[in-house]
Structure 1
Amino acid sequence: MKSTPPLLITPESDYQTLSDLLRDHARIQPDALALRDANTVLSYGALNVRIDRVASALQRDGIKPGQAVSICAMSSVDYGCVFLGALRAGVVVAPLAPSVTPQILSGMLRDAQACLLFLDEATLALVEPELSSLPRIALDGSAAGRPLEAWLAPAHSTPTAVTVPPESAFNIIYSSGTTGIPKGIVQSHGMRWSHMRRGSTYGYNPATRSLLSTPLYSNTTLVVFFPTLALGGCVVIMPKFNAAQYLVLCEQHRITHTMLVPVQYQRIMDCADFDQSDLSSFHVKFCTSAPFAAALKADVLRRWPGGLIEFYGMTEGGGTCILDARAHPDKLHTVGQPSEGHDIRLIDEVGIELAPGSTGEVVGHSPAMMNGYHGQPEKTREAEWYDTQGRRFIRTGDVGRFDADGFLTLVDRRKDMIISGGFNLYPSDLEAVLCTHPQIKEVAVVGVASREWGETPVAYVVLREGQTARAEDVLQWYQQRVGKTQRLSALHFIEELPRSAIGKVLKRELRDLTMPTAQ
């Protein structure tokens, strides 16, 4: 396949693999920086050599195209090299969260049918004895496995070329479920290409410097990681987020692009040194993965140079909405409009498409859609919806409505909706009222079982620093501002809301808290 020069990638470009693009960058700009962390810096020429060594080592070990390897470690340059080298060999990558339990890690490794596990010292404690036969490679050179440097093929090894069509599996991203084994979302090379191909739209080019502080096992991170490299920029990897250090890195490396989740934006904006930091190099900032408050968006627009783009979508793909916050300051309460070529619709509880102006579950169709859940055809079918023409859509589980201008406002997660005494309550509506209290920093409302009402809403509140309000006073304040059906049965103060590694509030953990509620 003839390769388009990498600097000319546009939304209309024909399919190319990321591996071919990296090889082209190594030829055209071998000395340009590609990856860096606190310990390692790689140019495109050096990166190409290293991923050739990874690909050659995988082929030497008999791992075939379409088979999977897993990575479970802190983010680093070597993590990125292993990921990219596996792709060059046509091998599927299953990046796994180091924050899971040993039982869940074992389940994901078995589900992915991983032939090899790349890990670090911190991950070793998660590996159960039954996995002792699974070959392990230590990215950090520790006793967690065979040291990476010893495992790699010799310098300047050349792997056997493989053909990777668009439908081939690129990676398996595991959902962030907190009970049972997370589902493995199989994304194709074609799906990833659609992310890379739109990169020029957001100003990715060889001058790009992207700072990533969310983990490399998360799709949140990868939707910036891959386009930056595809268009010849440099990715700066921050293994563990710290707001003050993040600002230091922004100045040090003249960062132009970043992906952050809402809780990270809040912590950065709260930094005492924020307004003294030189962030003038920024071209655009991205956000996804969790609800992004309109007031926080407005604060970012006001105080942080560069554009602000919010993506709404799922790892499973289907449909994406995009909000260009700077262009639409009056729509900050929304998640934007459907991306070009993305068909977003709303359906009711039984799968009937709803008329404009209605509120319903969001479903989407686009060129970027998962192949399915790995080894779980029934779960895949549950996630699909088909229109009357037989086109496949992915169900999001989110409830939303479109305004007259075509901007989507999310109401809540369908599974988080509370049915209390026959009334449907959306936690986000209740949370919005509580967040107007001047002493409240964050809040989450969940439904808990009730003998009298079936379910009843309970609020968990984080106060602003230095505030000393009493829970009973805040509860009384709230009850006076809502209708009878929206009243809370209890309100509890909590030091910090439980969150996933990418900032999503873990409402299941709140539901599991054994606190008394009104019946």
Structure 2
Amino acid sequence: MHPAIDHLLAQPFGSLPELIALQATHQPQHTAVILGEQRISYAALRVGMDRVAASLQREGLGPGDVLAICAGTSIEYVMAYFGALRAGVAVAPLAPSATAEHLSAMLKNSGARLVLRDRAVALQWPLHADSSLRCVALDDSPEAGELWSDWLATDERAPAPITPAPDWPFNVIYSSGTTGVPKGIVQSWAMRWAHVRRALANGYGPQAISLCATPLYSNTTLVAALPTLALGGTLVLMGKFDAAQYLHLAVQHGATHTMLVPVQYLRLMACPSFNDTDLSRLQHKFCTSAPFSAKLKAEVLQRWPGRLIEYYGLTEGGVRCELHCHDFPHKLHTVGRPGEGADLRFINDQGQQIPTGELGEIVGQSAGMMTGYYNLPEKTREAEWFDAQGKRFIRSGDVGRMDEDGFIVLGDRMKDMIITGGFNVYPCDIEDVLTQHPDVYECAVVGAPSEQWGETPVAFVVPRADTQPEAQALREWLNGRVGKTQRVADVRLVGFLPRSEIGKVLKRQLREQYVQMTANTP
């Protein structure tokens, strides 16, 4: 990279828009973003970024304000994101898949006076007339609001400069909202700068071609997309994941890096064209956002040579682990060791720290930690834990322990833990056994109401293609291999597991589905 870029990256804090500007100066024609047949250079990205920033400043938006974006993946989305940052405006990327009720609640919480959206979003999220809120159509669809092409500044004047501070809000990432109204997680400029600097160790730079197949509103995408562009690489986006299309794009563009969620690795391993696809250039593979089974990690290592790194952490930050699967194939049942600079502790139900090695809730402290939940001070306090010296940690809500080698063995989300007959049962322990059956493609275990035990485990199973297992036979096979309290009361065969757009199994939905099923059973 150019010495000016290296100098900026050596600083403890810096600006991502400034890095984009430097990339545009020193490699103006280098391709920054590819989406389908569209591609833009760093010079064009800088021009677009500045035009967005100037437009926002014309609207009176600046540091302390929030821009909401709710739309599908597009080049304009990327420009809008960096343009907002160029003006010092925090971005609130909202999930188009959320309900209209949740979208309205997120918009209200963010305090955004301007929302960028597209036609598909406008049709399922009609906004009532509000003089304080403006809608701009990213796809130039009249149904979505003022046309992007009309709203975007056309003059050549540079936007007014800003000098970001480390604690400024960079973006407000809303949680998935599977158990209520999503909370806005405020990530600071310092937190994102830490992400970019960490990416240098993983081969990101001008030669990197990073293939991202998750939505732009997702933090999963952002932890790969933002460093790719800040460090001068090429970002290849997919509007919607399809395994065969992913493989085609990887070869077509010579992808070197990719960030995927576990279910996408699962789909790729099952894709008929996988074994015939040359992925030798794609040496840097990352995974996050959902449980990544040891069995699937092992299959990826065997069939897809190169580095495979699993990240375990929170959008809220604090808790951060890395498992370099290719270096520690005997530790695939773990999520790795705490990342550099991360301090992980374990606490009991009373919030007291417990000795290393014992099972407890994981809390963490690191350079990348949220400021808090946006406009929700009480929820912020619930997410924090302080040690005896007053050091601030973020609570994960996950149960785990540290093994004798310093690797973290993960249990379940505390809310997913099943209490049956007074015993704590972790669904992941049962799922690990069940996935070993040759006819099981994937599965999920949840707690169902039980008059006798309070709760009892039940399993949902997606069979492998070309198999026809019997539910009762699967139940007997499983129950012969788990502890007495882990035995499942029922196995249900299903065609798929309900998931969020980034691949998390919606266990609450499965629990509700099971209650409905059994209520209708005579």
TM-score range, shorter chain: over 0.9
1:52 aligns with 2:50: yes
> Take 1:58 and 1:129, find their aligned partners in 2: how far apart are those partners?
21
Hey, what does 2:135 align to over in structure 1?
136
Q: Distance in 1 between matches of 2:65 and 2:3?
A: 28
Correspondence for 1:16:
14
Partner of 2:23: 25
Contact 1:9 1:231 in 2 (8 A): no
Instruction: Give the counterpart letter for 1:372 in structure 2.
Output: G
Provide the C-alpha distance between the structure 2 equivalents of 1:225 and 1:186, rounded to a whole number of angstroms.
18
Q: Distance in 2 between matches of 1:480 and 1:490?
A: 14
Alignment root-mean-square deviation, CA? 1.5
Match of 2:309 in 1: 309
Where 1:66 maps in the other structure, the secondary structure is coil
Task: Give the Cα separation in 2 of the matches to 1:29 and 1:418.
Answer: 55
1:74 to 42, 65, 72: 72
**For 2:110 and 2:325, how far apart are their aligned partners in 1?**
38
CA positional deviation for 1:252: 0.7
SS in 1 for 2:128: helix
Aligned partner of residue 370 in structure 1, secondary structure: coil
Between the aligned partners of 2:351 and 2:512, the Cα distance in structure 1 is: 31
Tell me the TM-score normalised to structure 1 length.
0.97
Cα distance in 2 for residues equivalent to 1:305 and 1:486: 36
**3-state SS of the aligned residue for 1:130?**
coil
User: Is 1:361–1:396's contact at 8 Å kept on the other side of the alignment?
Assistant: yes
Provide the residue aligned with 1:86 in structure 2.
84
1:515 is the counterpart of 2:514: no
The aligned counterpart of 2:103 is 105
Residue of structure 2 in register with 1:340 after alignment: 340
Match of 1:239?
239
| Matching residue of 2:409 | 409
**Match of residue 258 from structure 2:** 258
Measured in 1, the distance between the counterparts of 2:6 and 2:31 equals: 15
Partner of 1:378: 378
Helix, strand or coil for the counterpart of 1:114? coil
Q: Deviations over 1:25-65 (max 9, x none)?
A: 11111111111211421111111011000000000111122
- Aligned CA distance change for structure 1 residues 413 and 407 (closer, same or farther; 3 Å): same
The 1:345/1:179 distance shift into structure 2, 3 A limit, reads closer
| Alignment-derived partner of residue 428 in structure 2 | 428
Tell me the residue number matched to 1:361: 361
Cα distance in structure 2, aligned partners of 1:483 and 1:291:
22
Residue 124 of structure 1: how far off its partner (Å): 0.6
Q: Report what 1:462 is aligned to.
A: 462
> Which of residues 111, 118, 121 is equivalent to 1:120?
118
The amino acid that maps onto 2:116 is F
> Are the equivalent residues in 1 in contact too, given 2:472–2:491 (CA < 8 A)?
yes
Question: Equivalent pairs: percent with the same residue?
Answer: 53
1:9 shift after superposition: 6.1
- Counterparts of 2:440 and 2:25 in 1: how far apart (Å)? 55
Alpha-carbon deviation of 1:453? 1.2
What are the ranges of 5 or more consecutive residues in structure 1 without an aligned counterpart?
A: none
2:331 and 2:444 mapped to 1: Cα distance? Answer: 23
1:355-395 residue CA offsets vs partner (Å, 9 max, x unmatched): 12211111100110000000111110000011111000000
SS of corresponding position for 2:113: strand
With 297-306 and 498-507 compared, the bigger mean Cα shift is at: 297-306
Q: Contact 1:250–1:279 (CA<8 Å) still a contact in 2?
A: yes
Partner of 1:6: 5
> Would the alpha carbon gap of residues 242 and 171 (structure 1) be closer, same or farther in structure 2, given more than 3 Å must change?
same
In 1, distance between residues paired with 2:180 and 2:427?
Answer: 24
Give the AA of the match of 2:136: I
**What CA distance in whole angstroms lies between the structure 1 residues aligned with 2:371 and 2:275?**
45
The one-letter amino acid paired with 2:123 is A
CA–CA distance in structure 1, aligned partners of residues 491 and 306 of structure 2? 39
Aligned-residue offset at 1:4? 7.0
Structure 2 unaligned regions, length at least 5: none
Q: Distance in 2 between matches of 1:203 and 1:88?
A: 26
Q: Per-residue deviation at 1:460? A: 0.9
Give the aligned length: 515
Distance 1:89 1:43, change over 3 A: same
What is the CA–CA distance in structure 1 between the aligned matches of 2:332 and 2:449, rounded to whole Å? 34
Q: Give me the whole-angstrom Cα distance separating, in 2, the residues matched to 1:254 and 1:483.
A: 48
Cα distance in 2 for partners of 1:172, 1:412 equals: 26
Are the structure 2 counterparts of residues 334 and 21 from structure 1 closer, same or farther at C-alpha, using a change threshold of 3 Å? Answer: same
Aligned-partner residue type, residue 138 of structure 2 = L
* Higher mean displacement: 77-86 or 295-304: 295-304
Q: Which moved more, 1:103-112 or 1:428-437?
A: 428-437
Amino acid paired to 1:6: I
Q: Deviations over 1:47-97 (max 9, x none)?
A: 101100000000011112211111111111110100000000000100000
C-alpha distance in 1 between matches for 2:87 and 2:118: 23
